[in-house]
């Protein structure tokens, strides 16, 4: 049996949207697929408001710096999902087609706005997994 298919979630800082998508994806995929997140200019840590919003859903984000998006990381993925932050312009070496979800950046937003972004990411992740399950 080979390695499970990987979906890569990317944004600039890998501190908010992509980290939420990775966490929701890995929980919902239950080992059928693997979610990884990365950024073109990784931050030192996840946004505190994002950490709190995910804790409200019982998901703890890893305490780690953002991960750098590399061509090698992208080439391992069966899908690459951008969060709405011009990743293609920031990383022209990206050779895998990018699907962009056009989500607002949670940085600096009120907790209720971060929760709305979180809920939209969760909805889209569930749709993505349903689509992958059908293929």
Q: Where are the domains of the chain?
A: 6-134
Per the CB < 8 A criterion, the answer to whether 61 and 121 are in contact is no
User: How many CB atoms sit inside 10 A of residue 4's CB?
Assistant: 12
> Is the sign of the CA dihedral 111, 64, 122, 96 positive or negative?
positive
Per the CB < 8 A criterion, the answer to whether 81 and 128 are in contact is yes
Domain 6-134 CATH (choose: 3.90.76.10, 1.10.3720.10, 3.40.50.2300, 3.40.50.1980): 3.40.50.2300
Prediction pTM value: 0.91
Give per-residue pLDDT as tens, 18-67.
Answer: 999 999 999 999 999 999 999 989 999 999 999 999 999 999 998 889 99
Give per-residue pLDDT as tens, 88-102.
Answer: 555 555 566 678 899
Q: Rounded CA gap, 85 and 105, in Å?
A: 8
């Amino acid at each position: 049996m080979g390695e499970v298919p990987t979906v890569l979630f990317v944004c600039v800082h890998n501190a908010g949207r992509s980290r939420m998508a990775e966490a929701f994806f890995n929980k919902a995929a239950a080992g059928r697929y693997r979610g990884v997140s990365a950024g073109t200019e990784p931050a030192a840590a996840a946004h505190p408001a994002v950490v709190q919003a995910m804790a409200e859903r019982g998901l703890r984000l890893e305490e780690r710096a953002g991960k750098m998006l590399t061509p090698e990381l992208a080439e391992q993925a069966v899908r690459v999902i951008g969060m709405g932050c011009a990743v293609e312009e920031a990383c022209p070496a990206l050779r895998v087609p990018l699907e962009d979800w056009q989500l607002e950046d949670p940085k600096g937003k009120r907790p209720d706005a971060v929760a709305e972004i979180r809920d939209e990411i969760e909805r889209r992740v569930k749709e993505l997994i349903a689509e992958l399950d059908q293929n």
